Structure 1
Amino acid sequence: MIALLVVACEVAFWVLLAAGLALRYVARKPGLGAAVLLCEPLLEVVLLVVTAVDLKNGAEPDWKHGLVAVYIGFTVGLGHHTVKKVDAWVAHRWFGGPPPVKPPKYGRARAIHEWRTATRWILAAVVALVLLQAAVWYVGANGQVGSLQNWQQKMILVIGINLLIAGGYTVFPKRAPGGAAPDREPADRL
């Protein structure tokens, strides 16, 4: 049941996103569209409560309970950015908005972009780690928490990979071909 609820929340995320954007652009009701988009965090609250109740009722923690923590973490870390990117794409594609800002390709600007991306992923992993540890404590020492601890190891790996990628762009910045001027970070993003 928990795995199906995660899938249902993911589907509901995209449905709410589509509905919010439709209200914003098609119905020209940006306030109502924003209100619908603000309902998205309620999905994670429902998922968290159902998972806690499931564990409270004696369910042994398994990979599905860990998946809930990871899903919530990634929604916290990446959800807002995803909504902004999809909004910019929809506005440009169908409603005459400006083209979405492309990430810089070279030099310091690219390194800054990679650190911002890494920060979002690291936030997602840290939130998941905190929720997983809370679940371990909630279940207690007598429970089977191995699957939760496996998810924690995966989140530490996510953090490490993101640090390596961002660090790589910092230590070994990608150079513009043929001496072209390096990309600049947009002024509003500094």
Structure 2
Amino acid sequence: MNFVAWTIVACEIGFWVVILLGLLTRYIFNREKLGLFFLALTPVIDLILLIVTATDLYNGATATQVHAISAIYLGASIAFGKSMIRWADERFLYYVKKQGKRPVRKTGMDHARHSMKGSFQHLLAYIIGAAFLAVMIYFIDDPTRSEALFGTLKTWSFILGIDFVISISYFIWPRPAKVK
């Protein structure tokens, strides 16, 4: 694995570490501002990944799937970051602090709407990630060095389409409630 790939792994781990630190600081140590500081570090992690990827390509590296994955990671982190933090916050509050409402499994039209919201977040991640991919392709300005980026964009477009089809299917065949 190359340096960019390890950076992606480190950024993903770092993302969850700063969220955990933020939640622990906020709810266990009752230091709300410090907890917010840790949660606010998540965009810094994205910036680090962006700098590492751009530097690698600027120094003449041929774009690989790893470079493309960094664009996907950045798009997903920006589009889903806030909702992932909210998800972790709700579960931490309920399961660790024994406060708040128990997270409920969505069913029926609630699940369909939630799934469609996720598909639109995926679309936003796609737009952001595709913009990063397009910028990389533009600055590389060599089709042979950016071939992997084009291929990733095609595959991601297909996956995004599947995501919307699945979300639409939940409106036709809603998820039933579990029978106890």
Structure 2 residue 5 is the aligned partner of structure 1 residue 3: yes
Q: May I ask how many residue pairs the two structures share in their alignment?
A: 177
| CA 1:48–1:176: 2 relative to 1, 3 Å | closer
Distance 1:33 1:45 in 2: 20
- 2:141 matched residue in structure 1: 140
Deviation per CA, 1:102-151: give whole Å up to 9, x if none: 24311x32321121121122222222111111111110035521111111
Structure 2 residue 106 is the aligned partner of structure 1 residue 104: yes
Gaps of 5+ in 2: none
Distance 1:71 1:176 in 2: 33
Query: How is 1:125-164 mapped onto 2 (pairs within 5 angstroms)?
Result: 125-141=126-142, 143-164=144-165
| CA 1:49–1:104: 2 relative to 1, 3 Å | same
The two structures, once aligned, show a CA RMSD in angstroms of: 1.9
TM-score by length of 1: 0.85
Mean alpha-carbon deviation: is it higher for 17-26 or for 112-121?
112-121
Q: How many percent of aligned residue pairs carry the same amino acid?
A: 25
**Displacement of 1:164 after TM fit?**
0.2
Deviation per CA, 1:135-184: give whole Å up to 9, x if none: 11110035521111111012202210111011112233346699xxxxxx
**Displacement of 1:43 after TM fit?**
0.8
Query: How is 1:72-91 mapped onto 2 (pairs within 5 angstroms)?
Result: 72-91=74-93
Distance 2:175 2:70 in 1: 37
- 2:125 matched residue in structure 1: 124
Query: How is 1:31-70 mapped onto 2 (pairs within 5 angstroms)?
Result: 31-70=33-72
Distance 2:83 2:12 in 1: 16
CA contact (8 A) 2:112 2:170 kept: yes
| CA 1:97–1:58: 2 relative to 1, 3 Å | same
- 1:168 matched residue in structure 2: 169
Which secondary structure state, in structure 2, belongs to the residue aligned with residue 95 of structure 1? coil
| CA 1:146–1:94: 2 relative to 1, 3 Å | same
Larger radius of gyration: 1
Aligned mate of 1:95, from 97, 101, 108: 97
**Displacement of 1:22 after TM fit?**
0.9
TM-score by length of 2: 0.90
Distance 2:162 2:100 in 1: 33
- 1:15 matched residue in structure 2: 17
CA contact (8 A) 1:129 1:155 kept: no
